[in-house]
Structure 1
């Protein structure tokens, strides 16, 4: 599916301007999609965290120096809502990923269809699903990081906020940093319940002063939660070993 002067149907309702989304990704390395999920859908997904079934593993961040808090990787089959979202968003992001790779001089090109890309992952031994749900309590945070899981890495991913800022929790802002030859920058990205942020997993291209292309390294994390409980779903498009 090609990007261009079009408006795409939201995964759940309404429309998004994918031309503007692409501009935001190019300029800042991220774009916000408001109200991807309805409040009831957010509550249903957040409630899954307390269950034992439906997940392949649980990670306590402090044990791995990832920060504080925990998260669980979903097992296949994914919850139907996340399955739909993963397949609905990928076709709009693949052309951006392919163009970025061309600009960065990277030979990899991604199929237009998510199933074809996952088949590449699986043939390379990357068979474990990567969508996850995160839970943060008071004092919890996520260190700045990049989500790189194997040979086949899709350069964009999605985080969706399930909790209500200012009601369910305080603090816990989504943070992105970028590092390039001209310096470093950090940005706090405000999200409301049900909003999704599309963002760069590793690096993105940017124009340099000579008219060429430079690499901008991106990292993301979550600031400390001051009170309450914060749940987020992460949609990563490549599977892992």
Structure 2
């Protein structure tokens, strides 16, 4: 049973929350095995072509694999109340419905119809530049990443990086330590930080440091769809 209060506290304090061993080793291997199955995906991106870094990723097509669909559906209603509280204190007008099906319908009406869960693969010397996953007018403020390989056994390097830009102070960078099967939930765009005048917004970006050896696969769950 997950302690969602602790998840919210970590998100509010750090901008991310780790959920250990949310996937089993067998589930990680199964999802990794999807990568060569082109029929599961709507597009493939070679990162170097677009100056995104080095490595490649693929966006799943509908219907999503059962496990991917279940993760998206089941995590969303736990995160949407937190998202609404964040938007309230940051004075962002959009509020999020109780179920992911309802939110997808909002995305659909806005022309955001392409699914965004993705599978990423990095090899030696690959990396991902700092970025935000913003795909349209409707952006859910959290996303989840699942590490599918074991650091030190399957690969070295390739740490998940999170950076924050503060409006009045120097920013900071964090390395997020993950093991195989762990999930990390983090802020897509902004997070609220209390100030003497209420709250201000910190801007966040994420990326992956250079891989030194082996292969690293991750599953990304983004809750808003793309145009």
TM range (shorter): over 0.9
- Residue in 2 aligned with 1:35? 21
In structure 2, the residue corresponding to 1:135 is in which secondary structure?
A: strand
> What TM-score do the two structures reach when normalised by structure 2?
0.98
Mapping for residues 1-241 of structure 1, pairs under 5 Å: 15-180=1-166, 181-208=168-195, 210-241=196-227
Write out the 4+ residue segments of structure 1 that deviate beyond 2 Å after TM superposition.
Answer: none
Please report the RMSD computed on the Cα atoms of aligned residues, expressed in angstroms.
0.7
How far is 1:16 from its partner? 1.1
> What TM-score do the two structures reach when normalised by structure 1?
0.93
How far is 1:155 from its partner? 0.7
- What does the per-residue CA deviation read over 1:108-142, in whole Å, with 9 as the maximum and x for residues that have no partner? 00001100000000011100000000000000000
How far is 1:51 from its partner? 1.5
In structure 1, the residue corresponding to 2:34 is in which secondary structure?
A: helix
How many residues get paired?
Answer: 226
In structure 2, the residue corresponding to 1:193 is in which secondary structure?
A: coil
How far is 1:214 from its partner? 1.1
In structure 1, the residue corresponding to 2:74 is in which secondary structure?
A: helix
How far is 1:52 from its partner? 1.4
How far is 1:179 from its partner? 0.8
- What does the per-residue CA deviation read over 1:162-207, in whole Å, with 9 as the maximum and x for residues that have no partner? 0111011100000100111222000001000000000000001001
**Residue ranges of structure 1 left out of the alignment (5+ in a row):** 1-14
How far is 1:50 from its partner? 1.3
**Residue ranges of structure 2 left out of the alignment (5+ in a row):** none
How far is 1:211 from its partner? 4.9
Q: State the alpha-carbon separation in 2 of the partners of residues 214 and 124 from structure 1.
A: 28
- What does the per-residue CA deviation read over 1:77-122, in whole Å, with 9 as the maximum and x for residues that have no partner? 0000011111110001101111111111111000011000000000
Q: State the alpha-carbon separation in 2 of the partners of residues 154 and 57 from structure 1.
A: 22
